[in-house]
Chain A
Amino acid sequence: MADLSTDFAGIKSPNPFWLASGPPTNTAGQVMRAFDCGWGGAVWKTVGEPIINTGSRYGGIDLGSQKLMGFNNIELISDRPIEDNLREIAEVKKRYPKNAVIVSLMVESRRETWHEMVKRTEDSGCDGLELNFGCPHGMSERGMGAAVGQVPEYTAMITEWVREVARTPVIVKLTPNISDITKIAAAAEKGGAHGISLINTINSLMSVDLDTFAPRPTVRGKSSHGGYCGPAVKPIALHMVSACAKRVKIPISGIGGIGTWPDAAEFVALGASSLQVCTAVMHYGFRIVEDLIDGLNDYLDSKGFADLSHLRGRAIENVADWGDLDLNYKIIADIKPDLCIGCHLCYVACEDGAHQCIEEFPIGPSALQLGMFGKTNGDKARVPRIIENECVGCNLCALVCPVHGCITMKHVETGNPIMSWNDRMRHQRQEAGVGQTPSLWESAQ
């Protein structure tokens, strides 16, 4: 059994799975039930001056019969009085001393207000603070949340204010609604943050009711942009986590579309030290943590990793600039005829959507007459053929193929040396001689 225990900038938890700040961490009752289910920690739903919420608040996007591929919300921070939240936090911490309780905070951007809030909060006995500089909706219009997190100077300054009085570790939660998130990560680090967490939700408008023309989630016929999350945002989060991991030295709490243990392991491999989950719990409940822990544990064991430190950051060095990728690396698609069911999705995808490197097997007037379908006939007449000398190795056919393992990409040895775009450019410059003026872009670099 691998050791999943986690120390995130001094915040200790029995495993890396924390509930992210949100509806699942709104009350002591929820957080205690979550800890009973096995969650390692919880980031309490953002505490601040209580707000008033709308009905409705959440929107979803489905894919086929799969519900909530993406999810959004226009819910604001806690609508409960600060003292109620702090009293409950103290109670939870007393009853669950081994679990991490981090309190998400958001108040007006005024030094004294932050000082007072930090002191009151830490009196509850919490293990750490998470500064919510990320919420994209509602609060940002009032100069809080993402309004702070989109300006490096504000981020650094408020982090400094908090550090002036904080006795527990301070995590800054980052918004993805910015062109370069690493600038904010660096600002947080500069301001003295002990760690960062990302990503917060992405600005979004879920959908439009085509009868009433009300956007969703609808509040008396109107809506507002809300925060997008759920499985669909994971690739965006992975990119941003890896980019921050390369830029800052402080630990990262990974957030964004985590719902399964492979999701979690990928975040860790790209540098995350703890993992925060919200949407998946909103969809399926606290019980999902059982498989998160179980699956991650078995995975670490299978790799011979004694603990998460062996996995952490393992993939970062493989996140390269495009210019450093090997242009001479050749792969081509390979269809396993015995697995092919003859749907021709690879054919049409390649023909219409990619590079015309697959041909349909010629087929007669009626599949029925020829008995040309199904495995029952042992018939392979509908297996398309890869035109190997045309195949560019783009992956599209393998991605659309509905049968697991039917289309794989095989490596073809060309004998050519590794050659990246940057190698080529260097080479060309050498050949052109020293006199050539660099392009505007090259000068800027």
Chain B
Amino acid sequence: MRNLPPKLSAEQYEQNFADISPRFTRQQALIEASRCLYCFDAPCTKACPTSIDVPSFIKKITTGNLKGSARVILSANILGESCGRVCPTEVLCEGACVMNGSGEKPIEIGRLQRYAVDYALDHNFRLFAAGKPNGHRVACVGSGPASLACAAELAKLGYGVEIYDRNPMPGGLNTYGIAAYKTRASDSLREVKLVEDLGVKFHQGVEVGKDIALAELEQKFDAIFLAVGLGETWDLNLPGEDLDDVYGALEFIEWTKIERFENIDIGKRVAVIGAGNTAIDCVTAARRLNAETVYLIYRRDKESMPAFQYEYELAQKDGVIFLWNTQPLRILGRGESVLGLECVKTKMVGKGRAARVEIVAGSEFTIEVDMVVKALGQQPAMDLVKSIEGLELKAGHVVVNPQTHQTGNPKYFAGGDCVNGGKEVVDAVAEGMAAARGIHKAVGNRQ
């Protein structure tokens, strides 16, 4: 990196990446839980992809039954802790809260959920037991949220489950891919332990298709659950993309999750290209790592931004500069270093989603930056799934029966980002649970 901002003290970095929504104190939790009306047939539960019985777990907080509260949450969603932290609750349970209807603040369901599960994790409660072995074995490929949920559910039903994952640490994007001020890798690993406690076997650092053949898994297991997620960040296809100081968004976020903050070399001036939630994670991380100037560059207008409103507001608070209607043309560099980004202004032609982006002729300009982060979303990971006979793909994503999550090849089930193209943790969990039920239906009665 050519230009680095001054390094901060370790304490200062910790402060910058401190939990943006800290754990409730007992007092706060009680007051907030007491506000809950305990709705019947509650809209919050209906709005949750994993159908957590929200009124029930909140009621239990008010009675001091935190163990029971955690049991309600985790039986519906084994990743209840991280979902409490990272779910876009504003558009899910909290958005559905009836309090919105009377103009009151919705119940902070996410934070209450995290409070209850943290209590259970702190006390190492064994809330669930593995089922009596039923003699069937299932392999899960990938160890992200979908796999963890599927594995836990199957283990409870008595399956022998083994997870194969290429990363050194389990948890997938939950461990490697979420902004550090929302959750740390260690938080994710605490939840993984819940799954380990059910007897699920983890093979980390083992890439299926390379270190172990699919054929071998097919031979050893009654069913295989594919939750391989997505692949690399989409390329910009621009000159200069190969320079050293050009990073993929996930690569950059992963850096903040596994490296000590003071060891991360951030550019003094950083350009992040894209305007999704991951782009927001990147600009906020860059600012918190003490980058002086951080640009978010998006070729469409502000209204078209895919990021959630509160994510955008977070980036605003962090002092990020938003360049709307700006299309990068070329990354300028010298040697391996990035020097700047040549851009051109665009304009929207037409209205709404159908609007086209047109380049404004003669509006080229250059900004000086030291680092570029590509946040254009991830490509489908096709290498492994393409090799499976009978498995159908649509736009690179695995096609499944929406109820059972069974693929075109009856031995294979799939869920998570590789199926839905990249959604929330809670969606991956819901799909993993559905797949577990699908597998149980297909395999469970076999002798």
In the complex, the answer to whether B41 meets A372 with C-beta atoms within 8 Å is: no
Q: How far is it, in angstroms, between the C-alpha of A340 and the C-alpha of B102 when the chains are bound?
A: 8
Q: A341-B101, A343-B39 are in contact. Are A366 and B31 (CB under 8 A)?
A: no
Interface size class of A (residues with CB under 8 A): 20 to 34
Q: Choose among B30, B92, B101 the residue that contacts A342 (Cβ–Cβ < 8 A).
A: B101
Size range of the interface on B? 20 to 34
- From residue A381, how far is it (CB to closest CB) to chain B in Å? 10
A-side contacts of B37, CB under 8 Å? 343, 345, 402
Q: Does B47 contact A (CB under 8 A)?
A: yes
Residues from chain B with a CB closer than 8 A to the CB of A372 are: 43
Residues of B within 8 A of A373 (CB): 43, 47, 95-98, 100-101
Pair B31/A342 contact, Cβ less than 8 Å: no
A374 to B100, Cβ gap below 8 A? yes
CB contact list, A358-406 vs B, under 8 A: 360, 363, 366-368, 372-376, 382, 402-403
Which of chain A's residues has its CB closest to B41's CB? Answer: A344
Give the contacts of B63-118 with A (CB-CB under 8 A).
92, 95-103
In the complex, per-residue mask of B344-356: 1 if CB is within 8 Å of any chain A CB, else 0: 0000000000000
B62 CB-CB contact with A under 8 Å: yes
- Contact (Cβ within 8 A) A344 B47: no
Closest-by-CB residue of B relative to A364 is: B46
- Bound complex: CA of A345 vs CA of B103, how far in Å? 18
Q: Would you give the shortest CB distance from B25 to chain A, in whole angstroms?
A: 13
In the assembled complex, how far is the CB of residue B131 from the closest CB belonging to chain A, in whole angstroms? 29
Q: B100–A382 contact, CB under 8 A?
A: no
Nearest A-chain residue to B96, judged by Cβ: A373
Say yes or no: A347 contacts B100, CB within 8 Å. no
Cα distance, A345 to B102, chains bound together (Å): 15
Q: Which of A307-344 contact B (CB under 8 A)?
A: 339-344
- Decide if A367 touches B96 in the complex (CB within 8 Å): yes
**A348 CB–B CB distance under 8 Å:** yes
A65-B30, A373-B47 known; A342-B98 Cβ under 8 A: yes
Complex Cα gap A366–B51 (Å): 10
B42 proximity list for chain A (CB < 8 A): 343-344
Docked pose: A309 CA to B68 CA in angstroms: 56
Closest to A348 in B: B40
Give CA–CA (A174, B62) in the complex, Å: 37
Q: Specify which of A64, A382, A403 is in contact with B102 (CB 8 Å cutoff).
A: A403
Query: Quick check: B101 and A64 within 8 Å, CB to CB?
Result: no
B34 close to chain A: CB less than 8 A: yes
Structural contact, A374 and B62, CB atoms closer than 8 A: no
Question: Which B residues are CB-close (under 8 A) to A344?
Answer: 39-42
B38 part of interface (Cβ distance < 8 Å): yes
In angstroms, Cα B38 to Cα A372, docked, is 18
Residues on A with beta carbons closer than 8 Å to the beta carbon of B38: 345
What residue in chain B is nearest A367 (Cβ atoms)? B46
In the bound complex, residues from chain A placing their C-beta under 8 Å from that of B62 are: 64
Q: How far is the CA of A340 from the CA of B37 in the complex (A)?
A: 13
CA distance A340 to B101 in the complex (A): 8
What distance in Å separates the Cβ of B40 from its nearest Cβ neighbour in chain A?
4
Contact of A368 among B35, B47, B99 (CB under 8 A): B47
Report how far A347 CA is from B31 CA in the complex, Å: 26
Residue on B nearest A401 in the bound complex, by CB? B37
Closest-by-CB residue of B relative to A346 is B40
Closest beta carbon of chain B to A368's beta carbon, Å = 4
Q: Which of B31, B96, B101 contacts A65 (CB 8 A)?
A: B31
Our pick among B34, B41, B95 for the contact of A363 (Cβ within 8 Å) is B41
| A310, B43: Cα distance in complex, Å | 50
- B342 CB, nearest partner CB in chain A, Å: 43
Given known A-B contacts A368-B46, A368-B47, A347 and B40 have beta carbons under 8 A apart: yes
**Given the known A-B contacts A65-B31, A366-B47, A368-B92, are A375 and B100 also in contact in the complex, defined by CB atoms under 8 Å?**
yes
Contacting pair A374 B34 (CB below 8 A): no
Q: What residues on A are CB-neighbors of B97 within 8 Å?
A: 373-374
Asked if B47 contacts A367 (CB within 8 A), the reply is yes
A366-B46 in contact given A65-B31, A375-B100 (Cβ < 8 Å): yes
Q: How many Å from the CB of B68 to the closest CB on chain A?
A: 15
Rounded to whole Å, the gap between the CB of A336 and the closest CB of chain B is 12
Q: CB < 8 Å: which of B31, B47, B102 contacts A341?
A: B102
Bound-state Cα–Cα, A363 to B43, Å: 10
* Residue among A347, A366, A372 having the largest count of chain B Cβ atoms under 10 Å: A366
Q: How far, in whole Å, are A343 and B99 apart by their CA atoms in the complex?
A: 9
Residue of A nearest to B48 (CB): A368
B30, B92, B102, B103: residue with the most chain A Cβ atoms closer than 10 Å:
B102
Residues of B within 8 A of A341 (CB): 98-102
Chain B 15-39 residues near chain A, CB threshold 8 A: 30-31, 34-35, 37-39
What residues on A are CB-neighbors of B31 within 8 Å? 65
Q: Given the complex, which residues of A lie within 8 Å of B41, measured CB to CB?
A: 344, 347-348, 360, 363
B35: chain A residues within 8 A (beta carbon)? 65
* A375 engages B101 (CB within 8 Å): yes
C-alpha spacing A363/B46, complex, angstroms: 10
A64 to B58, CA, bound (A): 12
| B34 / chain A contacts, CB cutoff of 8 Å | 64-65
Minimum CB–CB distance from A181 to chain B (whole Å) comes to 35
| CA distance in complex: A348, B100 (Å) | 21
CB distance from A403 to the nearest CB of B (A): 6
For A347, list chain B residues within 8 Å (CB): 40-41
State which residues 38-61 of B face A: CB under 8 Å.
38-43, 46-47
Instruction: Name the B residues within 8 Å of A345 (CB-CB).
Output: 37-40
In the bound complex, do residue B96 and residue A343 qualify as a contact, i.e. CB atoms below 8 Å apart? no
Say yes or no: A376 contacts B100, CB within 8 Å: yes
Q: Min CB distance, A356 to chain B, in Å?
A: 14
Chain A residues contacting B43 (CB-CB under 8 Å) are 342, 367, 372-373, 382
Please, how many angstroms separate the alpha-carbon atoms of A347 and B40 in the complex? 8
> Taking each of B31, B39, B42, which has the highest tally of chain A beta carbons within 10 Å of its own beta carbon?
B39
- B98 and A343: CB pair below 8 A? yes
Indicate if the CB atoms of B30 and A374 lie closer than 8 Å. no
Bound Cα distance A382, B43 (Å):
9
Question: In chain B, what residue has the closest Cβ to A344?
Answer: B40
A101 to B31, CA, bound (A): 41
Determine the distance from Cα of A343 to Cα of B31 in the docked complex, in whole angstroms.
19
Minimal beta-carbon separation of B261 from chain A (angstroms): 37
Contacts of A375 in B (CB 8 A): 100-103
A409 to B: closest C-beta gap in Å = 21
Measured in the bound complex, the distance between the Cα atoms of B265 and A9 in whole Å is: 86
Which A-chain residue is minimally distant from B45 (CB atoms)?
A367
Cross-chain contact of A374 among B39, B46, B92, B96 (Cβ < 8 A): B96
Q: Determine the distance from Cα of A342 to Cα of B41 in the docked complex, in whole angstroms.
A: 10
Closest to A382 in B: B43
Closest residue of chain B to A66 (Cβ to Cβ) is B34
Inter-chain CA distance A367–B46, complex, in Å, is: 6
Q: How far is the CB of A400 from chain B (nearest CB, A)?
A: 9
18 A-B residue contacts at CB 8 Å?
A: A65-B30, A65-B34, A65-B35, A339-B102, A341-B102, A344-B40, A347-B40, A348-B40, A348-B41, A363-B41, A363-B46, A368-B96, A374-B95, A374-B96, A375-B101, A376-B100, A402-B102, A403-B102
Starting from the known contacts A374-B100, A382-B98, 7 additional A-B residue pairs (CB-CB under 8 Å) come to: A345-B38, A347-B40, A348-B41, A367-B47, A368-B96, A373-B47, A374-B96
Closest 5 CB pairs of A and B: A341-B101, A64-B34, A348-B40, A367-B46, A344-B40
